[in-house]
Homo-oligomer: A and B are copies of this chain.
Amino acid sequence: MSKVRVGIINVTGYIGMDLARLLYGHPEVDLISVTGRSAAGQRLGDIVPHLADINLEITTELDLVDLVFSALPHGENIETVVSLLEKDVRVVDISADFRLKDAAEYQKWYKQKHSAPDYLNRAVYGLTELNRDKIKNARLVANPGCYPTGAILALAPALKQSLVNPDIIFDSKSGASGAGRTLTLHTHYAELNENIAAYALEGHRHLPEIVQELTVISGKPTLYVTFVPHLVPMTRGILTTCYSSLIDGVLAGKKPQSEIMDIYKEFYAKEPFVRVVNTPPRTKQTWGSNICLIYPSIDIRTNRLIVISCIDNLVKGGAGQAIQNMNLMLGFPEKAGLESLPVYP
């Protein structure tokens, strides 16, 4: 039986590349077409040598496929996605264009009017663990941002179970690949190695996405979320440290550390890609894989819940989750193509 045909728009970005890498080993699909503007006309392996075994030419226009991963920069991406949907092609959109439900919020954070606001509510926010059923029937999945993936998974159990107050801080530490392949002084090797910095203190575009989804989970009208990302001298990986305070009386009279561990383990018990661990995780334990590691703990001196989550920003925070979503959309086993273990050390 023939495999499902898939394509990647803008394969030369880091998430595009990692989609190609993972799809190469996927048992149910054939990657048959990849685009990339500046590199059109060249072999994929000439631009991205580690993918030389994928025997494809980079083109300007995508061939006819059944499902597309669109990894264009936000904005210019909208028209492309809408046009694919109109041709009845399923889309997993890697950009930020269909993540926010509110067109006004989109405009506020992305500084442009959304050109297809009707599609915002048809898109399913593709944080697989939280929206699995909707994703199964989606034509358009808005793949989450890398930071929101780690942040939301870390706090979803506590908010769902009403353990914590609505005051929340996410302190995230990301490797440089999250900033993409576009050259900047901040990601110039001599500037970044042996260096760490906080950035976007005035507000990062992933904040509204985090707030939107956590608000739904919590059922509360308002959450007070602070999100501070940091750029760390490493290539892959996001570690997010989440701080919130336990609601008075919660976990009272119990051993809080073992109690919170039980709650988290139960919440994610059936998840193939989320593992609640007994010791603080490290980002490299997720290198190249779709796993998310989560460690909840209670600071008994201050009654705060502290949760650490680790992901590979290009996989669970990008290409891997996109394929996980594709698997659901196409009725494949959720782990198909995503079974390789992390590469460590």
> A residues engaging B (CB < 8 A)?
14, 17, 21, 24-25, 48-54, 167, 169, 171, 173, 175-177, 181, 183-185, 187-199, 201-203, 224-226, 228, 230, 232-237, 239, 241, 243, 245, 275, 277, 280-289, 293, 295, 297, 299, 301-302, 304, 306, 308, 339-345
Contact = CB atoms under 8 A, between A and B. Distances in A.
10 contacts: A21-B343, A49-B281, A49-B282, A50-B289, A171-B171, A177-B345, A187-B188, A193-B194, A194-B237, A226-B243
Contact of A275 (B52, B226, B297): B52
Contact of A197 (B17, B175, B176, B239): B239
A340 B233 contact: no
B235 A198 contact: no
A233 B233 contact: yes
B341 A284 contact: no
A343 B287 contact: yes
A196 B343 contact: no
A201 B261 CA distance: 14
Given A190-B345, A230-B241, A239-B196, A301 B14 contact: no
4 closest A-B pairs by beta carbon, nearest first, are A195-B284, A183-B183, A288-B343, A50-B342
A301 B191 CA distance: 31
Nearest to A202: B297
Contacts of A343: 21, 50, 287-288, 343
Copies in the complex: 4
Contact of A188 (B167, B188, B275): B188
Contacts of A239: 196-198, 230
A242 to B, nearest CB: 10
A23 to B, nearest CB: 10
Contact of A17 (B187, B308, B344): B344
Contacts of A25: 339-341
Contacts of A185: 181, 183
A273 to B, nearest CB: 11
A122 B280 CA distance: 39
A288 B288 CA distance: 10
Given A183-B184, A280-B201, A14 B190 contact: yes
A64 B36 CA distance: 52
B53 A341 contact: yes
B190 A341 contact: no
A189 B283 CA distance: 15
Given A189-B176, A195-B282, A237-B196, A50 B232 contact: no
Contacts of A287: 50, 194, 343
Contacts of A234: 193-196, 233
A21 B299 contact: no
Contacts of A225: 301-302
Contacts of A192: 189
A181 B201 CA distance: 26
Given A173-B173, A230-B239, A198 B308 contact: yes
Contacts of A285: 49-50
Nearest to A277: B49
